[in-house]
Amino acid sequence: MRGFSVADRTLLLATALLAGYQVAVGIEGLSNLAVVFYSIGFGALMIAALMLIILDREALGHSSVMLLATLLPIFLALGMITERVARSSYVFILFAAVGFASLVIARLWLGAAAARVVLISLHTLSGFIIVGFPFFSVLTGTASFAYVFVGIGGAIISFVGSALAFQRMSIDACEALFTKRIPWLLFIITVCFTAGMAWGAV
């Protein structure tokens, strides 16, 4: 398997810098809780990009990258809910906490299959939020049109998450399609979130 090209590495560096910018500047002014959740989400994106630069494609098979891929949608969804619907955010926070606890319990005592079921459930709900919520906000007029970009970024995250899961299951076609485009996908995700959050607020 060929390593990343210079262009791929440049994109990954741009992704890391942009995610770092979001953590440092892009989420200023939000509530403390939203800032914490977004920081973990964008932080996971930043570290994932740096790890891919350093470890190349081999990083994709590493368990720490799988962990980052799990943190990313969940914490972005948590940030989004906390930012936009503060009153009912505790329901999702509780759900995420129970989900994480179930994941740890399943991993430690119930085996890999049970852990996968919990993980898929968490991913599905987070994916549903980060894709559906921005579009819903735009349609109901609680966010401007640019917030759609966040939904597009969310859709790509969901795709990347599924592709990673399939790759873990060694589905060759998916692996070939996915690993070639991962720098582009991560970059587009970050651009979409940055643009959507910067221009999408009402």
Q: Which residues contact 175 (CB under 8 A, 6 or more apart)?
A: 166, 167
Chain residues binding other proteins by CB under 8 A are 20, 23-25, 27-28, 35, 39, 43, 46-47, 50-51, 54-55, 58-59, 62-64
Which CB, 23 or 189, lies closer to other proteins?
23
CB of 17 to other proteins, least distance (A): 10
* Gap between the Cα atoms of 130 and 139, Å rounded: 15
Q: How far is CA 125 from CA 72, 103, 120, 130, in A?
A: 13, 15, 9, 9
Which CB, 27 or 152, lies closer to other proteins?
27
Which CB, 16 or 115, lies closer to other proteins?
16
| Size of the chain, expressed as the number of residues it contains | 202
CB of 145 to other proteins, least distance (A): 27
DSSP state of 88: G
Chain centroid to CA 46: 11
CB of 39 to other proteins, least distance (A): 5
Which CB, 5 or 64, lies closer to other proteins?
64
